[in-house]
Amino acid sequence: MPKISSDTLWELASAEVQSREDGTGGEEDGGVDPVSLNERTVFFIGNKAGGKTTILLRCLDRDEPPKPTLALEYTFGRRARGHNTPKDIAHLWELGGGTSLSDLVQIPITAQNVRSLSVVLVLDLSKPNALWGTMERLLQTTRTQVEKASSKPQRTVESKAGSKQQAQNRPLMVLPKDHPDRELINPFPVPLLIIGSKFDIFQDFDSEKRKVICKTLRFISHYYAASLIFTSSKSESLMSKTKSLFTQLGFGTEKGKSMSSDLSKPLIIPAGMDSLSQIGSPPTTDVDIGTLHAKNPLDLWKKVFEVVFPPENTSDHHRELKDPAKDPQYSEPQIDSMRAQKDTV
């Protein structure tokens, strides 16, 4: 492979900056402008040790053992669209530490890439008690940063202001204009894929518990206009379907037609293909909805879910891990020993 000189890299970087400042090109019919046409950003978030790295490596066809994510990590993938054409590039960020390092979302989500950004939320199905809290905290933090980045002025011509608004409305476009739920949901501001990992463990759960988790995740996904898939690193078939959804986000490939809403099987529901009428009401066998005092439908589903799966008390854990240097997964005995000696001086 020929070595790429620093001059070439500088030339590429200079051309990229110039194209953004000139505002060359534009978006038509809700498409993506030339700046992001073959460069997209995908941000992976989710439970700590929930399988994010494994899924990412498998989607990139990289045969290497996954390692614990060190706070925030970056890699990239490339895909050729055709013969003698530029390769599409997917910038891939992964947030480690579950919710404890969620403040780092400001690094991968910027005003420059927010229009070509997608988010992948990986939820560990084998740990349902941490599921809602993880989802809620990470999506809230990510949404806030996306909206902040979207509101920042961009150094391009004014004609791009409309394209930014189109990009913010992309998720709403997955629902047909006559969809009955169009006014009842709150689409995430960028495309969102929710992956339920470790399905091989989840499938051995009690059927009623599986039903609660499945219906709840269907509601969450539909509410945020997200795609939903259950997967397992031990199933080549499920990983293949997961990779298909990932390549839609990372490389703009055509949407697949696979769909499964059977609660006894792994769920695969593309964005816009579900409805509140099909999902039904929250499973409340042992719960009196009238006593829950929910503020809105999302809050109602949360309260019902947490009756069945009481949330873990992770506040102390978050305070302890606010400094990544104190996280045991990043331990370096020699360095830690020297640091301890310095701290005692």
User: Checking DSSP bridges between strand 117-124 and strand 39-46, what pairing results, if any?
Assistant: parallel
pLDDT-above-70 percentage for the chain: 75
Angstrom distance (rounded) from CA 202 to CA 305: 16
116: tokens are 């070509």
Q: How far is CA 192 from the centre of its chain?
A: 6
* pLDDT tens by residue, 223-275: 999 999 999 999 999 999 999 999 999 998 888 778 999 998 999 999 989 99
* pLDDT tens by residue, 266-312: 999 999 899 999 999 888 766 666 667 778 889 999 999 998 999 97
Name the 3-class secondary structure at 119: strand
Q: Give the position of tokens 């509601």.
A: 219
Whole-number CA gyration radius for the chain? 21
Q: Phi and psi dihedrals of 44, rounded to 5?
A: -95, 125
Q: Which of 109, 191, 185, 93 is nearest to 152 (CA)?
A: 109
* Helix extents (H) in the chain: 6-22, 34-37, 52-59, 131-151, 161-168, 199-202, 207-223, 236-251, 276-279, 297-308, 315-320, 333-344
Q: Could you tell me which residue, 317 or 157, shows the higher pLDDT?
A: 317
Q: Output the DSSP codes for 232-253.
A: -TT-HHHHHHHHHHHHHHHH-P
Q: Phi and psi dihedrals of 27, rounded to 5?
A: -110, 135
Q: Which of 202, 206, 204, 232 is nearest to 217 (CA)?
A: 202
Beta-bridge partners for 88: 79
